[in-house]
A and B are shown apart, each in its own frame.
Chain A
Amino acid sequence: MSDNIPSVTDADFEAEVLRSSLPVLVDFSAAWCMPCKAVGVIAADLAVEMKDKIIVRLMDVDASPKTPAKYGIRGIPTLLLFKGGELKESIVGAVSKEKIVGLIAKHLS
């Protein structure tokens, strides 16, 4: 799991993600999930490269099971993009950085 993305938990998800003024990309991940590590590297890159446009947060589905259940997540890695408290994009599996950037860009004005 990537160490350089700040975490979000079930407890602070609403404050950190749903009430954020910037769009938030949440990386749902777990220590046992190897493909999550590849997506974690991309997410960490985006946290730096898009730091004025989006916030990136990591959620450990093992420690925080409620939020993934709420959004129907049954597979990781999954990236969810929230804007203005609403779910805008759901990206499942180990996909390329270009594709992730493209999907995020659709929601940046």
Chain B
Amino acid sequence: MNAVPRSDVVIIGAGPAGLSAAIYAGRARLSTVVLEKALPGGQILITDWIENYPGFPDGVAPAVLMEGFEKQAVHFGAKIVTDEAREIVPDPVGWIVRGGKADYPARAVIIAVGARYRRLGLAEEDRLTGRGVSYCATCDAPFFRGRAVAVVGGGDTALMEAVYLAKYASRVHLIHRRDRLRGTKILQERLFADPKITVEWSAVIDQILGRDRVEGLVLRDTNDGSVRELAVEGLFVSVGMDPQSEFVRELLDLNEWKEIRVDGRLATSRPGIFAAGDVIDAAPHQVATAAGTGVAAALSVVEYLSKTG
């Protein structure tokens, strides 16, 4: 395994939290390596438009915003490396982040790996993924031009996906387990104003119908248990996010949702390891809060390193 020279801080993940941390670490003149397993930007890139990031009154394309984060991090000296962190192990002067391509020794580590979409957990789900089951409306909406689709979920992402899909689909059914939505009010207003969108209240999906492609859903009413079929050719799953904390589950304290426990300074249960963004407990899953906790984690690293010499 290759070992690269020790850096002051290794940041794992180049989404909003990791890149914000990199900007602050770079400006503090810490040698900074950012590990990213795919492409810089993070999961926000799969949404079509950001209109709640402060300072952009007309909204901004996720790719444009995140390219700005990345350029700013690189400008202040951060080195972005394509590699996936596999584990973090202690060494006499700090930690070693073991990647797929090399080992990355560091005096401090910031974990900003984010979260990924949660699966529904139905038996047919894997087989029909890419055959009508999708987790990315902006990727797959054009395949459903003039067809009926369903979105399952009730949070902001589900509401945004339903409104986005209505531009392509002939009809969008939003399937929600409760009798009210949790998503932001302005998104609810847009959803209810769209004549193509119907909300299927108090309903859960028992089964996805179709052998080689999605042909319909079996819905169960959560009040009376009655069952009915809904003919759709697409199912967009938006039932929440899971933190990608698997690789540190033995090392760090996690909460019951596998989120990394941090204190007010973003410190984890191990000295010198900090965490930020959607992977930490009670994260609101917003670009602005991910950026904010990334900044705070970097400042904590600066303070930690000044004390440890």
Contact = CB atoms under 8 A, between A and B. Distances in A.
Interface string A48-91: 00000000000001100000100011111110000000000010
A37 to B, nearest CB: 6
Interface in B41-60: 41, 45-46
Interface in A19-61: 30, 32-38, 41, 61
A76 B212 contact: no
Contact of A93 (B37, B130, B132): B130
A96 B41 CA distance: 17
Nearest to A34: B45
B143 interface: yes
B139 A75 contact: yes
Contacts of A72: 131, 212-213
B62 to A, nearest CB: 8
Given A34-B41, A41-B38, A72-B212, A92 B130 contact: yes
A76 to B, nearest CB: 6
A75 B140 contact: yes
B134 interface: yes
A32 B168 CA distance: 14
B39 A41 contact: yes
Interface string B118-146: 00000000000111111110111011100
A94 interface: yes
A92 B129 contact: yes
Contacts of B143: 61, 68, 73-75
Interface string B151-172: 0000000000000000000000
Label chain A's interface by main secondary structure. loop
Contacts of A33: 136, 138-140
Contacts of B135: 93
B130 A74 contact: yes
Interface residues of B, number: 30
Query: What class of interface size applies to chain A in its complex with B?
Result: 20 to 34
Given A34-B41, A34-B45, A76 B63 contact: no
A94 B138 contact: no
B138 A34 contact: yes
Contacts of A37: 39
B212 A35 contact: no
Nearest to A90: B130
A74 B139 contact: no
B140 A74 contact: yes
Nearest to A36: B139
Interface string B96-131: 000010000000000000000000000000000111
A76 B139 contact: yes
A74 B45 contact: no
Contacts of B39: 37-38, 41
B218 to A, nearest CB: 20
Contacts of A76: 130, 139-140
Given A75-B130, A96-B84, A34 B142 contact: no
Interface string A3-31: 00000000000000000000000000010
Interface of A: 30, 32-38, 41, 61-62, 68, 72-78, 90, 92-94, 96, 98
11 contacts: A33-B136, A34-B138, A34-B139, A62-B142, A72-B131, A74-B131, A74-B143, A74-B144, A74-B213, A93-B129, A93-B135
Shortest 7 CB-CB distances between A and B: which pairs?
A: A92-B130, A38-B38, A75-B130, A34-B45, A33-B139, A75-B140, A74-B143
